[in-house]
């Protein structure tokens, strides 16, 4: 079973998920709501 974490976009406040093994690598993620590339260091919330 894949574990996920929810991230909150700093621009649009949209909440999307990523796989937990990707956390801590300061990866870039794509916000599906505002179409922005988001770095982990910019994320407002990780749950």
| pLDDT of the chain, 47 residues: tens digit per residue | 889 999 999 999 999 999 998 888 878 999 999 999 998 888 888 88
Annotate 19-39 with b (16+ C-beta within 10 A) or e (fewer): eeeeeeeeeebebeeeeeebe
Question: Which one, of 2, 5, 1, lies nearest residue 25 by Cα?
Answer: 5
Domain locations in the chain as residue ranges = 4-46
Q: Give the SS3 label for residue 40.
A: helix
What is the model's pLDDT at position 2? 83
Q: What are phi and psi of 15, to 5 degrees?
A: -110, 120
| CA dist., res. 2 & res. 37, Å (int) | 23
């Amino acid at each position: 079973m894949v574990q996920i974490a929810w991230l909150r976009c700093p621009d649009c406040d949209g909440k999307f998920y990523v796989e937990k093994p990707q956390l801590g690598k300061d990866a870039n993620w794509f916000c599906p709501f505002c179409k922005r590339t988001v770095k982990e260091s910019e994320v407002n919330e990780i749950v």
